[in-house]
Amino acid sequence: MTVTYTLSVSEARFWGFPRLLARWKGSIYRLMYREMIAFLFAYYLLAFFYRYLFNAELQRKFESIAHYCHGFTEVVPITFVLGFYVTFIVGRWWQQYCNIPWPDRLAIQISAYVQGADERGRMIRRSLIRYVNQISILTFQYTSTIIKARFPTLDHLVEAGIMTSDEKDVIENTETPHGIWWVPAQWFGQLAMVARKEGRIHDDLHLKSLIDEMLSFRGCCGNIWSYDWISVPLVYTQVVTIAVYSFFVSCLFGRQFLFQYPPGSNQSAAHEIDFYIPLFTIFQFFFYVGWLKVAEAMICPFGADDEDFEINWVIDRNLQVGYLIIDRMYRQLPKLTKDAFWD
Amino acid sequence: MTVTYTLSVSEARFWGFPRLLARWKGSIYRLMYREMIAFLFAYYLLAFFYRYLFNAELQRKFESIAHYCHGFTEVVPITFVLGFYVTFIVGRWWQQYCNIPWPDRLAIQISAYVQGADERGRMIRRSLIRYVNQISILTFQYTSTIIKARFPTLDHLVEAGIMTSDEKDVIENTETPHGIWWVPAQWFGQLAMVARKEGRIHDDLHLKSLIDEMLSFRGCCGNIWSYDWISVPLVYTQVVTIAVYSFFVSCLFGRQFLFQYPPGSNQSAAHEIDFYIPLFTIFQFFFYVGWLKVAEAMICPFGADDEDFEINWVIDRNLQVGYLIIDRMYRQLPKLTKDAFWD
Amino acid sequence: MTVTYTLSVSEARFWGFPRLLARWKGSIYRLMYREMIAFLFAYYLLAFFYRYLFNAELQRKFESIAHYCHGFTEVVPITFVLGFYVTFIVGRWWQQYCNIPWPDRLAIQISAYVQGADERGRMIRRSLIRYVNQISILTFQYTSTIIKARFPTLDHLVEAGIMTSDEKDVIENTETPHGIWWVPAQWFGQLAMVARKEGRIHDDLHLKSLIDEMLSFRGCCGNIWSYDWISVPLVYTQVVTIAVYSFFVSCLFGRQFLFQYPPGSNQSAAHEIDFYIPLFTIFQFFFYVGWLKVAEAMICPFGADDEDFEINWVIDRNLQVGYLIIDRMYRQLPKLTKDAFWD
Amino acid sequence: MTVTYTLSVSEARFWGFPRLLARWKGSIYRLMYREMIAFLFAYYLLAFFYRYLFNAELQRKFESIAHYCHGFTEVVPITFVLGFYVTFIVGRWWQQYCNIPWPDRLAIQISAYVQGADERGRMIRRSLIRYVNQISILTFQYTSTIIKARFPTLDHLVEAGIMTSDEKDVIENTETPHGIWWVPAQWFGQLAMVARKEGRIHDDLHLKSLIDEMLSFRGCCGNIWSYDWISVPLVYTQVVTIAVYSFFVSCLFGRQFLFQYPPGSNQSAAHEIDFYIPLFTIFQFFFYVGWLKVAEAMICPFGADDEDFEINWVIDRNLQVGYLIIDRMYRQLPKLTKDAFWD
Amino acid sequence: MTVTYTLSVSEARFWGFPRLLARWKGSIYRLMYREMIAFLFAYYLLAFFYRYLFNAELQRKFESIAHYCHGFTEVVPITFVLGFYVTFIVGRWWQQYCNIPWPDRLAIQISAYVQGADERGRMIRRSLIRYVNQISILTFQYTSTIIKARFPTLDHLVEAGIMTSDEKDVIENTETPHGIWWVPAQWFGQLAMVARKEGRIHDDLHLKSLIDEMLSFRGCCGNIWSYDWISVPLVYTQVVTIAVYSFFVSCLFGRQFLFQYPPGSNQSAAHEIDFYIPLFTIFQFFFYVGWLKVAEAMICPFGADDEDFEINWVIDRNLQVGYLIIDRMYRQLPKLTKDAFWD
């Protein structure tokens, strides 16, 4: 589900960005309230032990640990690690969006280049655009949890009218252990060649245009498949996760308000106001864990997160618009008239 | 409204960049004077309470808070978060500029490839270029607050002479719940095919050139629509906003000039000069909030901010120049003569 | 062997990224447990000497060294160096993935443009696709340790049926000291020309399409060869390695828990809890050395690391799918029928 | 005037980069000696007041200010702001270089595709290339202070022989308030069409090649116009300028050598050597202001700075080389002979 | 001379990157041992003066300077400046590699499209490929110190058989003050047109293919020429050089081991162990100066550094492979047979 909010900040105003903080859908709060609760629970549990259950000796020990952890929170370089990592993830996220294939270009060209208003002409045009949509749906079956849930098998495609049962049979009889999402692309090429031979495509140039365009479409699907197959290296994700979580584990201790500081530390126990709420640690939690959660939400953009792309909508739109362009709108034009500025 | 100032700093000189600070239009002052006033008001209000209304005990409490906040202002990593975020926003901003579609390429090709000085020839050329302009205007109706205000409905387009009422009817009768901005692209393809069949376009190659060019134009519009649909992830914007604003909330306390410092802090109350104006905090406010405001002004570049692109001008120019090229300048050439260097 | 895990974090959840820490295959632990063991061994060895074998004077000396090293660990800028370096390596890694050549585009075009169901037609199509696969396999023979191990010589290719013995002879008789991986590309061009002259390719345009497509394929192989030939500058890798390893050498001393601190240092020996396990140094080791190991695993992505691309699978797939498209699926189409939405 | 120095450091040697410091032309010294003089003048003026004119009380006040300023110089994050900003500016600077249009590609194609050695043939070829050069010169008239100074009006172009007076009239009679730099592009298209109809261009494909190439050329000019129109957002430039200059204003005070430090500051007045020259502040001035000046010199690369592109040279070269290729070198070839390696 | 080492670290292992430290060729040691020796010499000279030649008063002065310098070494932001600068240089370095022109694509197309096994056919093909190689060699004559040394004049090219003396005459008689490297590109266009007219090129499409491909080749050469002409702005290089060298000048003083510290500094003279070798300063020297040297070695990649591209090899290979493809391998094909998987 995509969160569109740009227009609401189209003018920079006094309450521009801060007003966005009041949103819930797609917000940082929704993404990380569980983590926040867990962190605060652990924090207060520790505080309770330290204050009410520990004897003096244990308290001194705890203070030593806290001091040691406090020092650690100052040297962990999570800002940069997160900065580089999130930049990398966001780049891939946008690349994946750019590779979502839209059949419009192809549909407009089929509508222009494949002639014949008779039944066979319609059938060829409809088949061409159906093959194209099949390529993308078969791709998303592998790479999107949402489409996988909607169409678990080829039979579901047949039921939904996206594939004929004859096509399903051909795909199932294709002897390849290596994925079959590209099979309709081959049909497209062969059917376009047939249409050329029948003279429905008037020129080799138009045949080439159609096949090139289809290959671009297929290339987009291949890229989406690649982004799924070749994930962000697991090691990189683990490094960042360890950095962020070890920072907050050490905050659990190091940001406690202490009765007294270990001798030799150049701090003193003068902070008695903010006793009950570690306000700034909560802020830090917001932006460090929030930043990591940005990455987590965007690493697989074809799922059901708030930030994910609405693939279901995309597929429905493409099916409908594809047929519309090559069939209903074929040879339909508004009346040519002199326009308003005709002198 | 675009702010163009490059030529005025075309030479690096003594007062090059500093002189730019004296500008008001499109300036940082105009963008953030409200935030600055609010911040200073809160700052002085707190100072007034602290100095004149609080008793000694409250003052000590306040000093503790101030000291705690002061420590926080030193660990918030807003520089990097802002650096990465603004780089990302500026990248998108420029990409969006690059995707503003200009019909010039198409107009020059229509003028060259679609022959016929008779009325029908003119009508076809004018319709082709009108369709193209319709694609972009329908796109901006969705994505630009300014164009939405200028043309709230299709009827306004008909009134402005951008669309014939017949075209409006066809669009309104198109049965698709998924946006209709691409419909004129389909008309373009069909009309080009008609012109080819009538022999007004002499060659399939030229037909292909026109359709390819139109599809690029349409692609630009699709990209603009994408940048609007898929905003910068809300979570990312929220993370940055929280970072910046929590920094300045802590500055409200932590940058107050105190009567005395809490015991144990390694500072002393020796600053008596800058008492009344927190000069450097103001500077910091300028560049941190200024940087965030840069992002805010650029996140939606089709609005009415000083930094936004002048879409109204673009649309007017495109309509006028489009007709000019394919109609008034059709088959018009300056006299071929021997040039000045002819030997 | 590629580690694909994106789908398992397709939804941001409470245990999203942390759950990934429990993986072994392709994990940071597997990549660096040897380094970790070596580091800890050295650390405890030093601690043992310091505590049990040194006399007081040596202990004071050791403490001086430790203090000096501790100061050093705070100024080494490994975060940035690593950030820029890893960004660079990851960029190259992905570029190399993108340049892995897939023959699908070419196969679909051969299947569409090279006509003739007779034996010679089949032979031409099969030869064309075989040449294409040979280009990529000869490339990987040079650049991938895995393919080199699988096909050490041309004879192994002949045995595997990828090359005919006649082709092997021609390659071996090519008088060039400069690499022969591109030779099948020349055959492709010549054979396509032959097919054009025989009329099996109907149009010069299709001939051009095939040759252009083959040249793109060949370009990918050339790029892969380039990434192998022009490594990341050795100096850059050495700089980063020295930075990271000198940091941990200084940690060996500087992060020891000391009996007492040298006079004049503003630290005191108050840390008695974490005595036996330098927990945070271990965390730092995890993310600094882990980050470097990310680079090490990705600098040559055609090897046998967990993060490397499965070139063996790619080659097998390409051989099989190539033949499938241009031979088995040539002129095969599912029956054209009215689809489910036909009105 | 471009500063080319790469070849002089083509080998990394002992005095490689340091030797470059001895250059004056295009150097940092030349770019900022004025700022440096102003800064030092203010610095010593303040020092003079502090030491010789102030009484003890004023001196204590001054020391308080100095201490406060000193603290500020340590928190200003100019490094990153400058890093991101300069990276952005340098990116645009190179993009603008890449968009400088060169007519060579077009000239070679005109020379190959537009046939006819007679007078009209020459006239057509010369007009085509003249139109192309006009597009770029009209563009630079708007965007480069240097070309604007050289050709303030169209009449100057006519005088220089770049435009015929007939062409000037047509341009002046074009009714458009929106810039006329693209008008010769339209002439090119129409004249190419005429040449095609006369049979001087043998094939529609060649016509398309010429028009496509010309549109690329025109696209480059459009991009240059865009980079001028859409400057780096003024706010961004202001933020960076404020950051750098406020840093050095605070250095004026904070880097003074003081008689004594305010009580409570953990510094003491032990620095008596570097009394007269604030050496390291000067170094910092060099690289911070120098970095900003890099941006200032590159933000408008078509001016008269040392780092700017030599547009005058480009235009002269393009005029001369354009005519040379399409006219003097038309149908000229060195004698075809057997080369040295002919066996 | 290129240093290829990727395959030796193709698997991440225990001694992966550290083992690379043992290399000499192309290593950081070779690149900077002179700087290191100079630095250490100056360091020990200063130490010698301070310890043995200075009286007590001078020693105190020296200690003040040292303390002041020590403070400076902590605020110089060389990490970022270097990070951004090296990223920029490395980007250009790789772009320049990518623009090294290879004639293979062109040779394969000439071999396919330019027909005729007779002498004139051979002569045309050989001339075409010779022109192409001339473009690149003339380019490298200007931009590579190595090629300039190998072929100082056009006569050397004639001697080497790369150019005929007739061609040399034509180039020398070309009246242009603006570089003549592009002249053979014009010949190529004219000769291709001749071949088309003679019917040796069968189709205008193939003519266009050849000319387009040649123009891409020429474009690469133009880019290389651009990278040489428009260097990295000198100011930028100077800023970075000043930053790094001023850092190490201050290290010469600030990292000396002192007898005593100036009063008021919060350090004490407790470091007596590392007395004779400033180990960590040496490490820092390694990575800061090493990083700068990376930039210095890569700023001009067509020289004789270890990291530079082997242009001599490239030129020899291109000459040989070019002739091989268009002449020896023209119309040569391995026998078409049924392959191993033929069923």
Percentages helix, strand, coil for chain E (3-state, rounded to 5) are 65, 0, 30
- Per mean pLDDT, which range of B186-200, D109-123, E292-306 is the poorest? E292-306
Cross-strand partners of E33: none
Task: Report the residue of C99, C333, C335, C341 to disrupt the A interface, i.e. the one with the largest count of A CBs within 10 Å.
Answer: C333
Cα–Cα distance measured from residue E185 to residue E176, given in angstroms and rounded to the nearest whole number:
15
Residue B104 has pLDDT above 70, yes or no: yes
String of DSSP letters for C276-287: S--HHHHHHHHH
Do residue C219 and residue E105 have CB atoms under 8 angstroms apart? yes
Q: Cα-Cα-Cα-Cα dihedral of B281, B283, B285, B291, to 10°?
A: -150
- Indicate yes or no: CB of A287 within 8 angstroms of CB of B242: yes
Residue A191 contacts C, CB cutoff 8 Å: yes
Average pLDDT, chain E: 87
pLDDT at residue B41 in the model: 94
Which chain B residues have a beta carbon less than 8 Å from that of A318?
A: none
Q: Hey, what's the torsion of the CAs at A210, A215, A220, A221, to 10 degrees?
A: 110
Place of tokens 């061409």: A128
Helix (H, G, I), strand (E, B) or coil at E1: coil
Lowest mean pLDDT among B254-263, C60-69, C314-323, E138-147: B254-263
Beta-carbon contacts of residue D326 (< 8 Å; ≥ 6 apart): D107, D110, D111, D114, D125, D126, D128, D129
Nearest Cα neighbor of B189 from A326, A340, A133, A336 is: A326
C336 contacts A226? CB cut-off 8 A: no
Rounded Cα distance between C85 and C291, Å, is: 10
The answer to whether residues A172 and A126 touch, using CB atoms and an 8 Å cutoff, is: no
Which residues does E284 contact at the CB level (< 8 Å), separation at least 6? C75, C76, E251
CA distance D167 to chain B (A): 5
Measure D172 CA to nearest chain E CA, in Å: 33
CA separation for the pair E327, A223 (Å, rounded): 39
- pLDDT tens readout for residues D274-303: 567 788 888 888 888 888 888 888 888 888
Task: Quote the CA–CA distance of C320 and E39 in Å, as a whole number.
Answer: 62
CB distance from B144 to chain D under 8 Å?
no
**E272 has pLDDT over 70:** no
Distance CA D267, CA D274 (A): 16
- Give the distance from CA E51 to its chain's centroid: 45
Q: pLDDT tens for residues D39-70?
A: 999 999 999 999 899 998 888 888 888 888 88
Closest approach of chain C CAs to the CA of A23, in angstroms? Answer: 18
Strand partners, C114: C201
* D87 burial level (CB within 10 Å; 0-12, 13-18, 19+): middle
A265/E246: higher pLDDT: E246
Q: pTM higher than 0.90 for the full model?
A: yes
- For residue A26, list chain B residues with Cβ-Cβ distance below 8 A: 233-235
Three-class secondary structure of residue D52 per DSSP: helix
pLDDT band with cut points at 50, 70 and 90 for residue B267: low
Q: What is the chain B residue with the closest CA to A282?
A: B246
CB D271 within 8 A of CB E68: yes
For residues D14 and E241, give the distance between their C-alpha atoms in angstroms, rounded to a whole number. 13
- CA B279 – CA D69 distance, rounded (Å): 10
Would an 8 Å CB–CB cutoff place B55 in contact with chain D? no
Q: Is B233 on the interface with A (CB under 8 A)?
A: yes
What are the residues whose beta carbons fall under 8 Å from the beta carbon of B188, sequence distance 6 or more? B128, B131, B132, B210, B211, B214
Which residues on chain E are in Cβ contact (under 8 Å) with C76?
A: 283-284
For C57, counting Cβ atoms within 10 Å of its Cβ (0-12 exposed, 13-18 middle, 19+ buried), the class is: exposed
Chains that touch A (3 or more CB pairs under 8 A): B, C
Residue-wise pLDDT tens digits, C221-244: 999 999 999 888 888 888 888 888
C332 vs A contacts (CB less than 8 Å)? 170, 190
B257 touching A (Cβ < 8 Å): no
Chains touching chain C, criterion 3+ CB pairs below 8 Å: A, E
Q: Which residue of C has its CA nearest to A229?
A: C4
Question: What is the residue-averaged pLDDT of chain B?
Answer: 87
SS (H, E, C) E71-104: HHHCCCCHHHHHHHHHHHHHHHHHHHHHCCCCCH
Looking at residue D76, its pLDDT comes to 67
pLDDT of D90 over the 60 cut: yes
Cβ <8 Å between C161 and E339: yes
Does the structure show a pLDDT above 60 at B268?
Answer: no
Report the pLDDT averaged over residues B202-223.
96
pLDDT at D264: 54
Interface touch B337/D164, C-beta < 8 Å = yes
Q: How far is E222 from chain D (nearest CA, A)?
A: 10
State pLDDT tens for residues E31-70. 888 899 999 999 999 999 998 999 988 888 888 888 888 8
Residues in chain D: 343
CB contact B220 to D (< 8 Å): no
pLDDT at D271 over 60: no
Interchain pair B219, A105: CB under 8 A: yes
Say how far apart CA E44 and CA E282 lie, in whole Å: 13
Q: Indicate the pLDDT class of residue B275, thresholds 50, 70 and 90.
A: low
Q: Are C23 and C327 in contact (CB under 8 A)?
A: no
E293 near C CB under 8 A:
yes
Measured between its terminal Cα atoms, the distance across chain B in Å is: 49
Q: Is C213 on the interface with E (CB under 8 A)?
A: no
- Give pLDDT, residue A267: 54
Q: Which of C64, C126, C235 sits opposite E28 (nearest CB)?
A: C235
Sign of CA dihedral B235, B240, B245, B247: positive
- In this prediction, residue B136 carries a pLDDT of 96
Percent of chain C predicted with pLDDT > 90: 49
Helix (H, G, I), strand (E, B) or coil at B201: strand
Residues of A in contact with B292 (CB under 8 A): 17
Q: Is the pLDDT of residue A7 over 60?
A: yes
Mean pLDDT of A248-275: 69
The whole-number pLDDT of residue B37 equals 92
Chain E residue at shortest CA distance from D337? E123
Residue D266 has pLDDT above 60, yes or no: no
Mean pLDDT of E107-123: 95
Nearest to C270 among A75, A120, A263 (CB): A263
Segment E22-32, tens digit of pLDDT: 888 878 888 88
Q: How many CB pairs under 8 A join A and C?
A: 249
Note the pLDDT tens digit of each residue in A147-173. 999 999 999 999 999 999 999 999 999
Residue C123 or B259, more confident: C123
3-class secondary structure, B338: coil
**E64 in contact with D at a CB cutoff of 8 Å?**
yes
The mean predicted confidence, pLDDT, of chain A is: 87
User: B166 and chain A: CB distance < 8 Å anywhere?
Assistant: yes
Question: Which amino acid is it at C179?
Answer: G
Q: Cβ of E65 and D273 within 8 Å? A: yes
Cα separations (Å) of B217 from A214, B139, D92, E127? 19, 12, 24, 42
D-interface mutation test, from E54, E99, E164, E234, most D Cβ less than 10 A away: E234
Q: Is C206's Cβ below 8 Å from some Cβ in E?
A: no
pLDDT of D15 strictly over 80: no
- Which of A271, A268, A253, A210 lies closest to A42 in space, CA to CA? A253
Facing residue for B28 by CB, picked from D218, D235, D303:
D235
Sign of the dihedral defined by the CA atoms of residues E173, E174, E177, E179, in that order: negative
Structure confidence by residue, pLDDT tens digits, D131-173? 999 999 999 998 998 999 999 999 999 999 999 999 999 999 9
Q: Are B239 and A287 a contacting pair at CB < 8 A? A: yes
pLDDT above 90 for E299: no
Chain C residues in contact with E316 by the CB 8 A cut-off are: 178
Q: Do D233 and B270 touch (CB under 8 A)?
A: no
**Cα A224 from Cα D209, distance rounded (Å):** 34
**How far apart are the C-alpha atoms of B159 and B157, rounded to whole Å?**
5
Per mean pLDDT, which range of B157-171, B297-311, C64-78 is the poorest? C64-78
Reply yes or no on whether the pLDDT at D268 is more than 80. no
Q: Are D4 and D307 in contact (CB under 8 A)?
A: no
> Which E residues in the span 313-332 are in contact with C, Cβ-Cβ below 8 Å?
316-317, 320-321, 324-325, 328-332
- What is the model's pLDDT at position C273? 53
Q: Share the mean pLDDT of chain D.
A: 87
**Given its phi and psi angles, is residue E161 left (phi above 0), alpha (psi -120 to 50 degrees) or beta?**
left
Tokens of B25: 């239009």
Q: Rounded to an integer, what distance in angstroms lies between the CA atom of residue A84 and that of residue A236?
A: 11
Would you give the distance in Å from CA D33 to the centre of its chain? 21
Inform me whether the C-beta atom of residue E98 falls under 8 Å from chain D C-beta atoms: no
In chain B, residues with a C-beta closer than 8 Å to the C-beta of D116 are none
Q: Is C296's CB within 8 Å of E333's CB?
A: no
Would you say the C-alpha torsion E292, E298, E304, E307 has a positive or negative sign? positive
Distance CA A57, CA D55 (A): 57
Residue of E nearest to D281 (CA): E72
**In which band, very low, low, confident or very high, does the pLDDT at B305 lie, cut at 50, 70 and 90?**
confident
pLDDT given at position D80:
80
E293 near D CB under 8 A: yes
Residue A150's alpha-carbon distances to A142, A225, A303, B164, C198, in angstroms, are: 12, 18, 12, 42, 50
Nearest residue in A to C213, CA atom: A212
Residue C119 has pLDDT above 90, yes or no: yes
Task: Answer whether C304 sits within 8 Å of E266, measured CB to CB.
Answer: no
**B75 confidence band (pLDDT: 50, 70, 90):** low
